[in-house]
Amino acid sequence: MTKPRHLSIEFLLNRPADCVEIRYTTKENFEVYLHKNVVEVGLKADMTPEAFREAHKKVGAFLRDKKVAHVHLPEIKGALQEQLFALFEGNYCFDRYISQKSVFLSKIYLEALPSNIKEIETILDAQFMMRELLSTPYKDRNVADFVAYAKELLAPLKGVQLEVHDHKWLLKEGMELHYAVGKGSLETDPPQLLVIEYRGGAQDEPFIGLVGKGMVFDTGGYSLKPSDSMIEMHGDCAGAVMYLHLVYMLDKLGIKKNVAVALPVADNSISSRALRLSDIVIGRSKKSVEITNTDAEGRLILADSVAYLADTMKLNCIITAATLTGAVIIALGKRMAGLFSENSKLKMALLESSERAHEPLWTLPFDKNSFMDLLKSDVADMKNAGKKEASATQGAVFIYQHLNKDIPFAHLDIAGTTMEKSLGTSYGLKLMLDFIRTWKNL
């Protein structure tokens, strides 16, 4: 079983004489090299903030390659926090299955400790754990493993309540879309639902609702993916992995908000039980769905969880996060995620958090009514997938159709931002932490 692996890091003062020192100089182009106990970093004088962060990612990778664990880091351009986040992002390497283990940064000596150093440590720890879990292949992180990991991660947290529901409960609660996606693995790795409550706000304060897609592996089902498209599909649970570690941060930082999280977890392997094209399934919302593509499975498990949270919790908004469509990568590439919402206040709040966190979002078209003609079915209330046009929007609209209450809704399609060559990123953690901190109830 995969267990939480915390980042080991200390931020200290009074560096020892033999500590490797980072020195900055002004150069025409970025360069970095090691000379004795000094890492010389050449930066352009007029670097953009993005170039500044990219340079520090390269420095982090350089330090790992040189097996440097302890460094003295001077603050430059008043951007120490950005230096640290970028440095550790570049320093990370997933080495669980590599015989020669990496040497990560473990001691950073600073001229002065920032007032929010504990927060920085907590975020770095959560980012590290998120990348570790997301990079782990299915053989060591199936549905049961994911649930066990979540229990171990959250058990010490006093402000968090976790409920785990099995496949029988899903059927009992009418969550047959989620059940149907995972029933191909019913005998080996059945689907489960994690419901998490974080209570940091007032007793009567409504919850911010979060739903994260937790496909621990996505074969595509009978609409089988080609090999090239399947190689990164252990990362199809990025929405759930991100929200799980977000809860960890909320509790560690004592954030004064109430947050309710639903993490539908499943594997959609093919078997005689598996969901088939032309099947018609009725979900928690009581709406029927004609299955026209078993590879459009993420929206099915999200739809049931959105309906469940709205039915059972008092929510002031609901935000889904999912590696939902390849179409969003075609539209936006791999540097930003797609944002879908009709609620102007919620949309603006997420965009502002995105900018502050340096985790880019871009608004894509979303209209819950005009796009529904693309999902029109002759035999059910809707299809789960239409033709190719506006297919990223189709996914968002489909999920929204299962929200039976008038609650501000947003969907984040993070398909392009969460994996790099089969390795997980930590995209979304800082964005959503900032959003929860700053969100005002409508």
Catalytic residues: 225, 299
Starting at the edge strand found earlier in the chain, the sheet holding 10-12 runs 10-12, 107-109, 70-72, 20-26, 38-43, 31-35
Kindly state the tokens that stand for 402: 């299962």
Q: Could you tell me if 301 and 324 are in contact, meaning their C-beta atoms sit under 8 angstroms apart?
A: no
- In the DSSP assignment, the letter for residue 59 is H
In angstroms, the CA 317 to CA 442 distance is 8
* DSSP of 345-358: HHHHHHHHHHHHHT
Beta carbons of 400 and 307 less than 8 angstroms apart: no
Paired sense of beta strands 31-35 and 38-43, if any: antiparallel
Whether residue 76 contacts residue 23, with contact meaning beta carbons closer than 8 Å, is answered with no
Rounded CA-CA distance 141/2 in Å is: 6
| CA–CA distance, 102 with 65 (Å, rounded to integer) | 8
- Burial label, 88 (beta-carbon count in 10 A; 0-12, 13-18, 19+): buried
Q: Return the DSSP state at 224.
A: P
